[in-house]
Structure 1
Amino acid sequence: MSRHQMLQAALVIFGVVFCLIYPLAIVWPSGWAWHDGPPASSHYFMMIVGVYATLGLFLIRASRDPAANRSLIEFTIWSSVVHAVIMAVQSYSDPMRMGHMTGDVPALVLVALVLGVLLYGGDRRTATA
């Protein structure tokens, strides 16, 4: 499988996962939701679900032509890094939120690493072909 095909597959997989943030919060709230109670009880959380579901749909669309959607992929990489760092700091400052260090924090780091390696790693022509 070429790097281009792996990037396409990763975009679809991560796109689908981003569309599933709400169900993940129902199944594993301590790793995915930042509030007590059901996921829909937080306006903030529902806003994040909407943003990530939208990003997920666009990542799936970007899988058709990653080179034409490079800026979206770079946004996903770097926003995932920033989001993971902020959540890690907040998790350490609030011991009740340490579940995020085994849930969404590593998930965001994984997204950034996989997409970053596939987009930037190796021959530049392969990543943009």
Structure 2
Amino acid sequence: MNAYRLLQILLVAFGAVFCLVGPLAMVWPSGWAWHEGPPMASQYFMMIVGVYATLGVFMILAARNPLGNVSLIWFVAVSSAVHAAIMAVQSLSAPMHQGHLLGDVPALLLVTIAFAVLLPKAQRSGA
């Protein structure tokens, strides 16, 4: 499988996960939600769910033509790295949030690494 095809698959797979942040928080709150109580009880969390679901849909759409959506893919990679770094620091300072070091922090770093490695390879090889 070439880098372009793998990039397409990961855009759909990661996009689907981004769309599922809300349900993931219901199943594993300590790894995905940042507040006490039910995940849907926080207005801030619901805003994040909406933003990530929207981004996930655009990632899935970008899978049709990844090289035509390079800036979106780089945005996902870089913003995921920044988000993971901030969350890791916050997790270390609050014991109740250390589950994020096993949940969304590594998930975001995986997204960052996958896209940062695959996108340049896909650009070199073309479609």
In the other structure, the counterpart of 2:87 is: 87
Cα distance in 2 between the residues matched to 1:68 and 1:61: 11
In the other structure, the counterpart of 1:46 is: 46
Cα distance in 2 between the residues matched to 1:84 and 1:100: 9
Aligned residues: CA RMSD: 1.1
Residues 58-107 of structure 1: CA deviation (Å, up to 9, x unaligned): 00000000011000000000000000000000001111110000000000
Task: Give how far 1:9 is off.
Answer: 0.2
> Which structure 1 segments of 5+ residues have no match?
none
- TM-score normalised by the chain length of structure 2: 0.96
Cα distance in 2 between the residues matched to 1:82 and 1:30: 20
The percent of aligned pairs where both chains have the same amino acid is 62
2:3 partner amino acid: R
Aligned pair count reads 127
- TM-score normalised by the chain length of structure 1: 0.95
1:60 equivalent in alignment to 2:95: no
In the other structure, the counterpart of 2:124 is: 125
Cα distance in 1 between the residues matched to 2:123 and 2:18: 27
Q: Retained in 1: the 8 A contact 2:67–2:123?
A: no
Cα distance in 2 between the residues matched to 1:24 and 1:34: 12
